[in-house]
Amino acid sequence: MRVSRGEVSFPASLPAPQSVHSVVIDRPRSPCPLRQEDPVATAHAAAANEHELAAMRRAIMLAALGLGSTSPNPVVGCVIVNASGETLGEGYHQRAGGPHAEVHALRAAGEQARGATALVTLEPCNHTGRTGPCAQALIDAGIARVVYAVGDPNPSATGGAQRLRTAGVDVRAGLLEDEAAAVNAAWLTSVRLGRPHVTWKYAATLDGRIAAADGSSRWITSAGARADVHRLRAECDAVVVGSGTQRADDPHLAVRGIEGAVQPLRVVVDTNGTAVAPGARVLDDAAPTLIAVADNVTTQGEAETVRIPRADGGLDIRALLDELHARGVRSVLLEGGPTLSGAFVAAGAVDRVVAYLAPVLLGAGPAALTGGGITTVTDALRLDVSETVRIGPDLRVTATPVALVAKEH
């Protein structure tokens, strides 16, 4: 296990935690059967030098800057270096429809790009949409070598590596693939599974309570942890809660304190159409709002409404995700209570768990999860913890289901 000091950025308008440090757990990673790799290029991934490793790490950091603002496109970072490892230009995909990462980096490098190496987090695209093919832009600029992290699984855009190779460019793949794929998890889930990537976020006491016996929950976690939740919201396309949370908390669900953040779609899963009262905070103009109700419910409200088939006493979670995906949503932050979270778990629709744990004991009150289709220990949803971060007095734990890939097939 590798223990390292880390940092979490907090908006200037919100209080920063007293201390932040992280524990990142290193482990062997098994290959994902959903990946579609370029076998020729992948075989050469180990040929990267230290300069290229550093540049790719920088490219991954740049790519992450686009989280929450590029959907339905991927987040991509690009760094162009010379033979000595000096950075000539860098960039990232900032907005859907805007220039791609490679174009930003090439513009920054100018004529120095000729004969240089481009490090890209995703295989350069090979299609013309709102922008031209990045593979051709690299060729036209005289780039001599391209190293990318993740192969493009999108059938309409793949082939960039072959196009580059045909033009005489040295192409290598797979450098820091897992790290780059983690940053692009939402888009990769969309392409491979045809649905949004779902992060279930909750805050709880050390004995697993999300509220006290009287229903009070403000505040279990610290101001620093709550500020960090706004970062999660800013990185997603939609924030989802259920009718119980809507009635109990009247949540706002918009991003606050992060300058320039693209506001996510606020989604309330209100099966019977009775939870969102006039004047509810989700009905203001801070962010768009969608109310999901059962297909046999008639409603008249201020927000847009979508009808979803019923299932197991609530709404069909897969149908809900299909609807959101059709609207361009590629990443969902699930902030629902135990019933809605259990429905997502039962549907096999939780890709990542982010838990904020406070050093508090309540002894009674609702737990974070109800149901989930789990009746015995052998049915438990096992998680692989990838990171723990201390935020002031609280602990943020990030984990992914161990059998996620197997459950999707």
- The DSSP result for 80-124, as a single string, is EE-TT--EEEEEE--STTS--HHHHHHHHHGGGGTT-EEEEEEPP
Segment 253-281 shows an average pLDDT of 94
Q: Band of the pLDDT at 313, cuts 50, 70, 90?
A: confident
| HSE, side-chain direction, 13 A CA sphere, residue 337 | 22
Q: What pLDDT does residue 398 have? A: 97
Q: What are phi and psi of 354, to 5 degrees?
A: -120, 110
Segment 382-389 shows an average pLDDT of 95
160 close to 173: Cβ distance less than 8 angstroms: no
156 close to 164: Cβ distance less than 8 angstroms: no
Q: Give the start-to-end residue ranges of the domains of the chain.
A: 31-187, 194-407
Q: What would the two tokens of residue 388 be?
A: 């723990």
Closest CA to 196 of 333, 343, 341, 373: 333
Q: What pLDDT does residue 242 have? A: 95
Helix residue ranges per DSSP H, 157-222: 160-166, 177-183, 185-193
User: Judging by DSSP bridges, how do beta strands 383-391 and 310-311 pair with one another?
Assistant: unpaired
CA distance 332 to 186: 9
pLDDT at position 153 over 50: yes
Q: Domain 194-407: which CATH class?
A: alpha beta
Q: What pLDDT does residue 48 have? A: 62
pLDDT at position 344 over 80: yes
384 close to 22: Cβ distance less than 8 angstroms: no
Percent of the chain topping pLDDT 70: 87
Q: Is 267 exposed, middle or buried (0-12, 13-18, 19+ CB in 10 A)?
A: buried
Q: What pLDDT does residue 251 have? A: 95
Which residues does 39 contact at the CB level (< 8 Å), separation at least 6?
Answer: none
210 close to 368: Cβ distance less than 8 angstroms: yes
pLDDT at position 34 over 90: no
**Active-site residue list:** 102
Provide the β-strand partners of residue 35.
none
Q: What would the two tokens of residue 112 be?
A: 């120095």
Q: What pLDDT does residue 404 have? A: 57
Segment 164-172 shows an average pLDDT of 97
Which residues does 226 contact at the CB level (< 8 Å), separation at least 6?
Answer: 14, 219
pTM of the full structure: 0.84
SS3 content of the chain, % helix, strand, coil (to 5): 30, 25, 50
Segment 143-148 shows an average pLDDT of 98
Q: What pLDDT does residue 47 have? A: 54
pLDDT at position 407 over 90: no
Q: Band of the pLDDT at 158, cuts 50, 70, 90?
A: confident
Amino acid at 257: G
Residue pLDDT, tens place only, 228-238: 999 999 999 99
Q: What are phi and psi of 233, to 5 degrees?
A: -60, -40
Q: What are phi and psi of 307, to 5 degrees?
A: -100, 130
pLDDT at position 7 over 60: no
Which residues does 204 contact at the CB level (< 8 Å), separation at least 6?
Answer: 210, 220, 355, 356, 357, 358, 367, 368
Average pLDDT, the chain: 87
Q: What would the two tokens of residue 193 be?
A: 């599974």
Residue pLDDT, tens place only, 190-214: 999 999 999 999 999 999 999 999 9
User: Judging by DSSP bridges, how do beta strands 197-205 and 352-358 pair with one another?
Assistant: parallel
Q: What pLDDT does residue 88 have? A: 98
pLDDT at position 406 over 50: no
Q: Band of the pLDDT at 62, cuts 50, 70, 90?
A: very high
Question: Which of 47-56, 114-123, 184-193, 346-355 has the least mean pLDDT?
Answer: 47-56
Provide the β-strand partners of residue 119.
79, 147
A 10 A CB-CB count for 363 gives 9
Domain over 31-187 is classified CATH 3.40.140.10 = yes
Question: Which of 37-51, 306-320, 321-335 has the least mean pLDDT?
Answer: 37-51
More confident: 1 or 245: 245
CA distance 208 to 369: 9
60 close to 175: Cβ distance less than 8 angstroms: no
